[in-house]
Amino acid sequence: MDKNWFFADLHIHSRFSRACSKALTIPNLVKWARVKGISLLGTGDFTHDVWLNELKELRPEKGILWYKDDKGEFPFILSSEISLVYTEDGKGRRVHLLYLAPNLDAVDKINAWLDGIGRRDYDGRPIFKISCRDFTAKMQEIDEQIEVIPAHIWTPWFGVFGSKGGYDSLTQAFKDKRDRIHAIETGISSDPPMNWKIKDLENISIVSFSDSHSFWPWRLGREATIFKIESTEMLSYDLMINQIRNNSFIGTIETDPAYGMYHFDGHRNCNFSCSPQKTRELGSVCPKCNKPLTVGVDYRVEELSNNDADNKNQKLFYRLLPLHEIISLAVGAGMNTKRVWSIYDSLIRTFKTEFKVLLDASKEELLRVVEDSLLVNLILKNRIGQIKVEPGYDGTYGKALMEESDEESFDQETQKTLF
């Protein structure tokens, strides 16, 4: 990792969003962001007044909110997610948008506008009957520096390209405000190469964030964007937004897209999943219940892909599973068990952050800490995206799988690619 790399996770939630940990507090987020190796977090949920009041206790400077504890200061950018549910062109639309705000004044104006058209007190990610186009237009009117990013764009239920209520292009969704969309978020079920197939996404930034509902390190920062910041003293909202708008950031951290909950097609209740090819053979009907399958991300990407797509802005990306997942696979114990935590803690004590373990630590360094060749080989395979994953589907996460070759040491050619 370069010393100027700055890992940011700008899409998270607070304890006031549905299905989120009730222990999600600013101190907990900061503690585990440091462990993970994250240098900047989004606040999440700034439309919720209780959470916003906590955020207003932080020190603002140049569009950044700074939390201070005995280890120093940690930065946040004001971020939130909104759920837009409406009807357009005779079709029900459901789209989640992530948006970033330059200061608390802009946040207060956003919240005042939302109060005039609905409620935002019941959930950290409130639902409004607003179109993508109209929401984006209003954000531009409030402040030109507000950044709107379509969230997890491929997920079936709430992605802008999702199979259940999405669109076939950004122009179709945002109309005359298409030029205000500078970036899209991959979501866990897709990665940059999948998005490079889409002609509509040429010349647009492809960012990744976790959409985390807890502070645990197998959720927080599982996807992140790598910015270039020479020092934290230079950090500002404008600097971050300009890198997004100019597509000048370094790259992204991605999970294997098969790890995502909606990569393949299927029915969770029927315990059935399948590839896009099989879905077409089945006529998109579940063979167990004879109801329409939940069509996942892989199918939808194929549906919208273009043979003439030519994305010239391809960036560095790492396809990584969280360290807890790798340790769990190696030792055959659950991610949140004492055995896995013991190994994780020993690695963090030595290497300081999870990203350092996942991206930098050499084979020899790792063996000195854990003395487990299987685990070390899995960490190194993970670094080059070679852990096999059983695809997730219909709200079920994918599963990392052990292969016979994992028991063996890397061959010399593979080691050369790593060191």
pLDDT digits (tens, 9 = 90+) for 102-114: 999 999 999 999 9
Q: Which tops the pLDDT comparison, 419 or 56?
A: 56
Mean pLDDT of 231-240: 94
Which domains does the chain show, CATH number per domain? 5-259 (3.20.20.140), 323-384+386-390+405-418 (no CATH)
Average pLDDT value over all residues in the chain: 95
Say if residue 349's pLDDT is above 80: yes
Mean pLDDT of 28-47: 98
Say if residue 209's pLDDT is above 90: yes
Confidence band, pLDDT 50/70/90 cuts, at residue 407: low
Confidence band, pLDDT 50/70/90 cuts, at residue 271: very high
Say if residue 190's pLDDT is above 60: yes
Say if residue 218's pLDDT is above 60: yes
pLDDT of residue 27: 98
pLDDT digit string (tens) for 139-174?
999 999 999 999 999 999 999 999 998 999 999 999
Confidence band, pLDDT 50/70/90 cuts, at residue 312: confident
Mean pLDDT of 274-291: 97
Residue 401 and residue 390 in contact, taking contact as beta carbons nearer than 8 Å: yes
In angstroms, rounded to a whole number, what is the distance separating the alpha carbons of residues 224 and 230? 18
In angstroms, rounded to a whole number, what is the distance separating the alpha carbons of residues 17 and 183? 24
Mean pLDDT of 280-309: 94
Both tokens of 10, joined, read 């700008």
In angstroms, rounded to a whole number, what is the distance separating the alpha carbons of residues 62 and 139? 20
Say if residue 37's pLDDT is above 90: yes
Mean pLDDT of 130-138: 98
Say if residue 409's pLDDT is above 70: no
pLDDT of residue 414: 42
In angstroms, rounded to a whole number, what is the distance separating the alpha carbons of residues 63 and 237? 5
Lowest mean pLDDT among 61-65, 126-130, 306-310: 306-310
